[in-house]
Structure 1
Amino acid sequence: MTRFIMILRTAVQNSEELEIVSKVMFDFAEITKWSIDLEDCDRILRVETTTRIGDQLVEKLNELGLNSAVLEIFDSLLMQN
């Protein structure tokens, strides 16, 4: 199965915003795993998915007031070769 790893910059600042991110992640069945680095100045969100949903994910986060942007998308199959 193809898996994509997306790296996003976010503006998450507190636990309430982290809860919003968690709810958004739950809404996308394609997301298999995610984590966020709140210690990093860019609040890096790392998301593993079965399809390329970067634009849809950013759109949803931005709609809810969480400024975000895709920094990179990796195809795990290409990374293994």
Structure 2
Amino acid sequence: MTLFIIILRTTVQNSGELEIVSKVMFEFAEISKWSIDLEDCDRILRVEATARIGDQLKEKLNELGLDSAVLETFDSLLMQN
């Protein structure tokens, strides 16, 4: 199975906004794992998913007031070769 690693820049600043991100992540059945680096100046959100859903994630986060941008999407099968 192909796994996609999606890297997004976000504007998450506090626990309330982190809770919004968490709720969004649970709306997507394709997501198997996610993490966010609040120490990084770009508040990097790293998502592992079974489909290329970066644009949908960005749109949903932006709808809820969290500015985000997809920086990169990696195909884990291609990364292994």
Q: TM-score, normalised by structure 2?
A: 0.99
Query: Identity percentage over the alignment?
Result: 86
Tell me how far 1:76 sits from its aligned partner: 0.1
What 5-or-longer segments of structure 1 have no aligned partner?
none
User: Structure 1, residues 35-79: CA drift from partner, whole Å, max 9, x if none?
Assistant: 000000000000000000011000000000000000000000000
Aligned to 1:74: 74
What 5-or-longer segments of structure 2 have no aligned partner?
none
Deviation above 2 Å: which 4+ runs of structure 1? none
Aligned to 1:62: 62
Aligned to 1:35: 35
- After TM superposition, the structure 1 = structure 2 runs for residues 42-57 of structure 1, keeping only pairs within 5 Å, are 42-57=42-57
Aligned to 2:17: 17
- Aligned positions, number: 81
Structure 2 residue identity aligned to 1:27? E
